[in-house]
Amino acid sequence: MVSVSILNGDLAHLAETADAVRQSGAELLHFDVMDGRFVDNISFGLPVLESLNAYTDMPLDVHLMIQNPLHYAERFIRAGADLLSFHIESDSDAAAVIDVIHRNGVRAGIAVSPATPVETVFPYLDLLDPEDFVLIMTVVPGLGGQSFMPETLPKMRALRAELAKRGRSLHIEVDGGINAETGRLCREAGADMLVAGSYLLKAENIADAVKTLTD
């Protein structure tokens, strides 16, 4: 499954970007939310998500890189999130955030930054539904266009092994520096949801680039 990050698109023409993504064969539109506190950057907020949701019928994969996701989760769901991920490193209680997301009928994801051991999410795996996911960041969160960090690959293998041990079939999403080669490495390590931005949106043909992430 491919989720296209609009953070790396032409921000003056988000509607056109959404159209191009919908026609590319990708399954999800990835929407990064940054508050300037959890990460040293500020990106999209609720009004932009509401406008995008009204414009496109693509599922919106919303990634909260914010300090207090519990305070905002329900609002982002009302604004149009179909999938909502938050960081285990945030100030909010992870179990409480998962509960809010599930009560609003949306797929939940727990995100893990590169410096955080993936084992940090293990206590919460049994709170997740089969279509939920763990998002392993393969770059430092906050800025697009970074290079893939290969040291994150063992985290995917460890998580997939833990899920197998528990008899769980959760999804593993990866985000950061994803292209044909790094995407292949991630799939081999157990990931099945790939977030890509620059690689796809700067390609001559987005549909052809999407195929390189799935073939």
Q: How many residues does the chain have?
A: 215
SS3 151: helix
The domain locations on the chain are 2-212
Annotate 105-127 with DSSP letters as a single string.
T-EEEEEE-TTS-GGGGGGGGGG
Catalytic (active site) residue 10: no
Q: Looking at domain 2-212, does it have CATH number 3.30.450.40?
A: no
Q: Is 192 a catalytic residue?
A: no
> What is the mean pLDDT, run by run of 10 residues, along the chain of 215 residues?
91 92 95 94 93 96 98 98 98 98 98 97 97 97 83 98 95 96 97 95 94 92
CA distances from 16 to 56, 63, 105 (A): 10, 21, 29
- What is the reported pTM? 0.95
Among residues 10, 19, 32, 208, the one annotated as catalytic is 32
* Residue of 140, 214, 206, 211 lying closest to 177 (CA atoms): 140
Q: Which token pair is 66? A: 């914010």
Active-site option among 82, 175, 192, 208: 175
